[in-house]
C-alpha cells in the first residue's frame, strides 16, 4: 500500500518537531510520529495549521501513509534509541525505502547501520543537522552522507529545508557512509573551540580588567563589525546583556560555572587522536568543560592556593585590540585544525571530502556560521594547501595578530587566568612555524631506552646507537 505523504519524521522532541514544521512550511506533506503520542498531538494541535502535517498513532499507519520509495527522517536521541527505532521500522518497510538518521550519531555507528540496512535492501542516510531549535525550523545547515542514489531521492526537500546564503542552500551531499555525521561531529568540535575562546576572552575582560557583563557585551558588539562577526558572538552579546528577573543581576553572573556536554567534542578529539591530527584547540575545549565540571575540586583548591595578586584595571584601546587579535588568530588556528582533521579523515576513509563545500554550507544555518567561513571557502577555491595556516590569506591575517596574541597569553600567565585554548593555539602556531623542533631529542631518548632507532639529517636510513655498550652507531 502506498500513501501520499512525501516525507515522514519519527521523533518529535524539539529538533524533530521543528524539522517537520520546516518541511511542511516548504510545501511538503509530512507524516509525523513519536513514541509518546502526547508529543504528536501537541505538534498537530499547535502547528497543524502551518502546513500538511499528519499525525500517526501507530508505526504501521505512519509508514503506510508515505509515498514510495519512502523517506523517513529519524530525530531521536542518539545511540541505542536509533537502533531500536530502526528495528521497529524495518519490518514495515519495502526494498529501496530510505531511513535518514538526522541526529548526532557517532559516524562509526552510521557506517555500521548503513551496512545493516543494505543487507535488508534498505537505504540509509546519516545526516548531520546543525542550527539548534531555531535552525531546524527556519533553515539549518544540513550534511547528508550515504549512497548518492538515496541522496538523489531526498535532495529536493533537504535543499529546500536548508538555510540559504546568497541564494545557495547550506546543504550538500558530503560523501558515502558516515561522512555526513563525521563532518557534523567536527563542526561541533570546532563549535566547542570557538565557544571556549570566546569564554576565555570574557574571563580576561572580567577577571583581569574587572569589567561588568554589559560592558563586555559592548566590547563584543564592537568586534561584530570586523572579521570576528559570527552567530556565536551574537548570542554571547545577548547572553551577557540579559538581566536576571529574580536578582536584578546579569544572568550570566548567577549561572553555575559547570559546562555540560553531549559527546560530539569528545568524539572529535578521540577521532583526531586515532588519525594522529593535532587538534589542540578542540581537545583543550573538551578538557576545559571537564575541569569546569569538577567544581568541588576547584573550590577546595581555591582555598589551598593563593590567588595571583594583580590589581584589576580598565582596558585601554591597545589592550582591547590585543584581545581581538588573540581571539581572531586563535580562531583561525582552531578552524585550521578542524579542517585538517577533515582532510585527514577524508584520506583515511576515502571520502573525497570537498573542504571548500563544507565551508560553504557552514556559512548559514549552523552554530558556527560566520562571514569568516566565506574567507575559508574562497581560500580553498585556489589553495595549494589543505592547511589554512599555509595559505597566503590566513598567513597574512595571523602575522598581523601575532604580537597582540603573545601579549594576551603572557598577560593571562602573569595574572593566573587560565587560557587553555588561547595558549594551546599559540603553542601550535609556534610549533608549526618552526622548521626544526625539539623532537630530535625525543628520538634520541626513544632510541636509548627502547632501541626505537632514529633517522639522520645528513644520511638516508634508520640508525641505532649502542648507548649502553660501546656507544657506536649502527644502521638499523
Ligand atoms: P532528544 O535527543 O532529547 O531525544 C528525544 C526524542 O527521542 C523524543 O522524541 C523521544 O521520544 C525519542 N526517543 C528516545 N528514546 C527513544 C526510543 N527508544 N524509541 C523511540 N523514541 C525514542 O531530542 P532533540 O530533539 O534535542 O534531538 C534529537 C537528535 O538531534 C539528537 O540526536 C540530538 O543530539 C540531535 N541534535 C540536537 C540539537 C539540539 O539543539 N537539541 C542540534 C542538532 C542535533 P519520547 O518523546 O517518546 O521520549
Asked about 206 being catalytic, the answer comes back as no
CA of 11 to the centre of ligand 1 (A): 6
Q: How far apart are the first and last CA of the chain?
A: 70
Q: What is the pLDDT of residue 385?
A: 80
Q: What is the pLDDT of residue 311?
A: 78
Q: What are the tens digits of pLDDT across the range 40-61?
A: 999 999 999 999 999 999 999 9
Distance CA 223, CA 201 (A): 12
The answer to whether the beta carbons of residues 273 and 342 sit under 8 Å apart is: no
Catalytic: which of 29, 54, 111, 191? 191
Taking the CA of residue 133 as reference, the ligand 1 atom at the shortest distance is 40
Instruction: Determine if ligand 1 sits within 6 Å of the CB of residue 77.
Output: yes
Closest Cα to atom 30 of ligand 1? 103
The candidate with the shortest Cα–Cα distance to 362, out of 228, 169, 173, 104, is 169
**What CA–CA distances, in Å, run from 187 to 268, 368, 396, 404, 446?**
9, 8, 25, 27, 36
Confidence of residue 310 (pLDDT cuts 50, 70, 90): confident
Domain boundaries, the chain: 7-177, 185-432, 439-475
| pLDDT at position 242 over 80 | yes
- Domain topology for 185-432: 1.10.1040
Q: What is the pLDDT of residue 309?
A: 75
Closest Cα to atom 1 of ligand 1? 77
Closest Cα to atom 6 of ligand 1? 76
Taking the CA of residue 130 as reference, the ligand 1 atom at the shortest distance is 43
Global pTM value: 0.96
CA of 430 to the centre of ligand 1 (A): 42
Q: What are the tens digits of pLDDT across the range 349-366?
A: 999 999 999 999 999 999
Q: What is the pLDDT of residue 274?
A: 98
**What CA–CA distances, in Å, run from 97 to 100, 201, 472?**
10, 49, 68
Q: What does the angle CA 344 – CA 184 – CA 229 come to, to the nearest 5 degrees?
A: 100
Instruction: Determine if ligand 1 sits within 6 Å of the CB of residue 265.
Output: no
**What CA–CA distances, in Å, run from 329 to 168, 228, 370, 399?**
28, 10, 15, 9
Confidence of residue 1 (pLDDT cuts 50, 70, 90): low
Closest Cα to atom 29 of ligand 1? 103
**Probe ligand 1: pick from 8, 10, 13, 261, max atoms within 8 Å of CB?**
13
In sequence order, the 6+-apart residues with CB closer than 8 A to the CB of 335 are 190, 372, 376, 388
Asked about 274 being catalytic, the answer comes back as no
Closest Cα to atom 27 of ligand 1? 15
CA 330, 333, 338, 341 dihedral sign is negative
For residue 28, the SS3 value is coil
CA of 160 to the centre of ligand 1 (A): 23
CA of 78 to the centre of ligand 1 (A): 7
CATH of the structural domain 7-177, one choice from 3.40.50.2300, 3.40.50.720, 3.30.2450.30, 2.60.40.10: 3.40.50.720
Instruction: Determine if ligand 1 sits within 6 Å of the CB of residue 136.
Output: no
Domains 185-432 and 439-475 share a fold: no
* Mean pLDDT, rounded, for 228-233: 97
CATH of the structural domain 439-475, one choice from 3.40.50.150, 1.20.5.320, 1.10.443.10, 3.10.450.50: 1.20.5.320
Instruction: Determine if ligand 1 sits within 6 Å of the CB of residue 78.
Output: yes
Amino acid at each position: 500500500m502506498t500513501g501520499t505523504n512525501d516525507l515522514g519524521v519519527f521523533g518529535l522532541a524539539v529538533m524533530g518537531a521543528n524539522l517537520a514544521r520546516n518541511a511542511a512550511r516548504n510545501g511538503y506533506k509530512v507524516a509525523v510520529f513519536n513514541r509518546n503520542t502526547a508529543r504528536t498531538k501537541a505538534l498537530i494541535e499547535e502547528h497543524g495549521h502551518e502546513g500538511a502535517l499528519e499525525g500517526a498513532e501507530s508505526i504501521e499507519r505512519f509508514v503506510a501513509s508515505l509515498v514510495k520509495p519512502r523517506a523517513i527522517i529519524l530525530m531521536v536521541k542518539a545511540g541505542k534509541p536509533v537502533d531500536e527505532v530502526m528495528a521497529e521500522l524495518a519490518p514495515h518497510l519495502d526494498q529501496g525505502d530510505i531511513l535518514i538518521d538526522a541526529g548526532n550519531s557517532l559516524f562509526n555507528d552510521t557506517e555500521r547501520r548503513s551496512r545493516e540496512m543494505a543487507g535488508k535492501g534498505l537505504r540509509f542516510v546519516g545526516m548531520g543537522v546543525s542550527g539548534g531549535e531555531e535552525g531546524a525550523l527556519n533553515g539549518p545547515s544540513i550534511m547528508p552522507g550515504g549512497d548518492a542514489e538515496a541522496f538523489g531521492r531526498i535532495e529536493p526537500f533537504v535543499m529546500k529545508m536548508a538555510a540559504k546564503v546568497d541564494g545557495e542552500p547550506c546543504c550538500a551531499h558530503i560523501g558515502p557512509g558516515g561522512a555526513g555525521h563525521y563532518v557534523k561531529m567536527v563542526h561541533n568540535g570546532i563549535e566547542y573551540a570557538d565557544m571556549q575562546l570566546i569564554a576565555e576572552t570574557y574571563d580576561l575582560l572580567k577577571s583581569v580588567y574587572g569589567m561588568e557583563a554589559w560592558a563586555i557585551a559592548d566590547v563584543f558588539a564592537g568586534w561584530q563589525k570586523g572579521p570576528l562577526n559570527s552567530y556565536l558572538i551574537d548570542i554571547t552579546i545577548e547572553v551577557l546583556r540579559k538581566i536576571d528577573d529574580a536578582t536584578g543581576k546579569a544572568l550570566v553572573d548567577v549561572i553555575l560555572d559547570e559546562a555540560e556536554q553531549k559527546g560530539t567534542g569528545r568524539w572529535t578529539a578521540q577521532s583526531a587522536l586515532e588519525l594522529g591530527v593535532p587538534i589542540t584547540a578542540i581537545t583543550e575545549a573538551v578538557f576545559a568543560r571537564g575541569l569546569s565540571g569538577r567544581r568541588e575540586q576547584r573550590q577546595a583548591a581555591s582555598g589551598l592556593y593563593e590567588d595571583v595578586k594583580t590589581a584589576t584595571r580598565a582596558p585601554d584601546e591597545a589592550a582591547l585590540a590585543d584581545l581581538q587579535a588573540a581571539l581572531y588568530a586563535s580562531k583561525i588556528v582552531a578552524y585550521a585544525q578542524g579542517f585538517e582533521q577533515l582532510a585527514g579523515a577524508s584520506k583515511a576513509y576515502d571520502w573525497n571530502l570537498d573542504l571548500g563545500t563544507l565551508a560553504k554550507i557552514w556559512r548559514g544555518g549552523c552554530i558556527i556560521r560566520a562571514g569568516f567561513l566565506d574567507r575559508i571557502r574562497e581560500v580553498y577555491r585556489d589553495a595549494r594547501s589543505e592547511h589554512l595556516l599555509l595559505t597566503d590569506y590566513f598567513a597574512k591575517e595571523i602575522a598581523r595578530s601575532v604580537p597582540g596574541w603573545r601579549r594576551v597569553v603572557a598577560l593571562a600567565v602573569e595574572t593566573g587566568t587560565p587560557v587553555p585554548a588561547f595558549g594551546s593555539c599559540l603553542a601550535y602556531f609556534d610549533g608549526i612555524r618552526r622548521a626544526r623542533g625539539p623532537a630530535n631529542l625525543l628520538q634520541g631518548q626513544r632510541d636509548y631506552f627502547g632501541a626505537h632507532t632514529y633517522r639522520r639529517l645528513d644520511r638516508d636510513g634508520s640508525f641505532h646507537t649502542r648507548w649502553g655498550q660501546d656507544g657506536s652507531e649502527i644502521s638499523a
